[in-house]
Structure 1
Amino acid sequence: MQAPTSRCWQTQGVLAREGGERAFNHPAMGVLHYQQVSLSLAGWPDYRLTMLLAAQPVSVDDRDRRRRTRA
């Protein structure tokens, strides 16, 4: 028997996400914007490196506030 996730993936009920802007609603900091970049590795077609890069420069105050909220 095939797992539901696998079945949905094969029928395109689940699609891979492409790069682009992503936004997340952080409970203490509000909406955070990131740019998603995905790299496919040559010779390794089953692997992909996906990164979320800050869409706007982050100030020192913002960085310190993020550290405090994670602790």
Structure 2
Amino acid sequence: MIGLKKQIQELGCEVDVANAEMEEVKCIKETTEQELKGNELQWALNEASIQTLEARISIIQDEISSVGSQVEGPKVV
């Protein structure tokens, strides 16, 4: 009987340790998920910035072409 009580106490301690480890892992998981969401947001913002800059570059290139055409204009012979 004493052996069973000791075994129950040991198993109870193991459950407590396992529960503590599980809580720690849950906290790590939550932190990781929050970091992932932050990284996804940062990626989306970077992607939007890239698209904005690409559009701006395209407009500038069009303006350069337009000015270049005006400079070359009709040649007087």
The TM-score bracket by the shorter chain reads: under 0.3
Indicate the structure with greater helix content.
2
Indicate the structure with greater strand content.
1
Which structure would you say has the larger RCO, counting Cα contacts within 8 Å and 6 or more residues apart?
1
Question: TM-score normalised to the size of structure 2?
Answer: 0.19
